[in-house]
Homo-oligomer: A and B are copies of this chain.
Amino acid sequence: MRIDVYFTPLGFNAGDVSGRGVVVIDVLRATTSVVTALANGAKAVIPAATSEEAVRLASNLEKDGVLLAGERKSVKIEGFALGNSPREMTPEVVAGKTIVLATTNGTPALVAAQGGDPVLLGAPVNFKALVERARQALVERGDLVIVCAGRERQFALEDAYMAGRLVKAVKKGIRKLDLNEATTAALALTPLYRTWAEALEDTAAARQLVEANLGEDVAFAAKQDRFGVVPQYAERRIT
């Protein structure tokens, strides 16, 4: 059995995930927001690479049932119903809706993960449920790929730290396991912080959110196991 971590969606090919179990992580904030939206009753989330693509995708859906969501530089895209804050994804707002979501880092990671089976989305807010599903995928497929969204095409500590915690939890009790070198590095991060909050607060992404008056999103993302859902991405929809 084998686990491969990738710190960014750059530089790996579709062949690297084809037919393998995949977990996509963008703690601040895309995967936290998607988990929250689906847990609160959204029908589906459709990721879009750009705001233009989001508008185009939404125009093909029934107007009543769709919400445009997304951010650029942390801030809500003008004219969109929602930003990319998990705190916006309340049952009142999202229940029964399809959300078309454009985000800077999360969407490229999902695109890179296409071809994986299953492609699971995770964050601290669904950590326990994710560990269970990821472990199941690893055992069934013999193979697990963890794709960190990263930040502006670079290494992001919050995603790498979560990858390390996930590997640590998933591999418990499994004896023969090959790990790529980024997995070794992700595991080396786990002793650096005692809590999710400590790790998340120590990041450039968190500082940018605080500056945009979205600091509460960091605290929201740092609370483990708020939800028991594990979103799955297939045929360009997350459900």
A187 to chain B, nearest CB (A): 9
Tell me the bound Cα distance from A96 to B160 in angstroms: 46
How many interface residues does chain A have, given as a range?
Answer: 20 to 34
**Cβ-defined partner of A11 (8 Å) among B10, B202, B203, B204:** B10
Instruction: Identify which of residues 165-203 in chain A touch chain B, using a CB-to-CB cut-off of 8 Å.
Output: 180-182, 184-185, 188-189, 192, 202-203
Determine the chain B residues whose CB is within 8 A of the CB of A155 once the complex forms: 6-7, 180-182, 185
- Among residues of B, the one whose C-beta sits closest to the C-beta of A9 is B11
* A110 interface residue per 8 A CB criterion: no
Determine the chain B residues whose CB is within 8 A of the CB of A154 once the complex forms: 6, 11-12, 180, 182
As for how many copies of this chain the complex holds, the number is: 2
- Among residues of B, the one whose C-beta sits closest to the C-beta of A12 is B154
Q: Mark A124-167, 1 if CB is under 8 A from B, else 0.
A: 00000000000000000000000000001111110010000000
Task: Check A188–B192 contact: CB distance below 8 A.
Answer: yes
Task: Check B188–A184 contact: CB distance below 8 A.
Answer: no
Tell me the bound Cα distance from A106 to B111 in angstroms: 29
Determine the chain B residues whose CB is within 8 A of the CB of A153 once the complex forms: 10-12
A4 to chain B, nearest CB (A): 9
- Among residues of B, the one whose C-beta sits closest to the C-beta of A192 is B188
A156 to chain B, nearest CB (A): 6
Interface residues of A (CB under 8 A from B): 6-8, 10-12, 152-157, 160, 180-182, 184-185, 188-189, 192, 202-204
Give the top 7 A-B pairs by smallest Cβ distance, nearest first: A11-B153, A157-B181, A155-B182, A188-B188, A10-B10, A10-B11, A188-B189
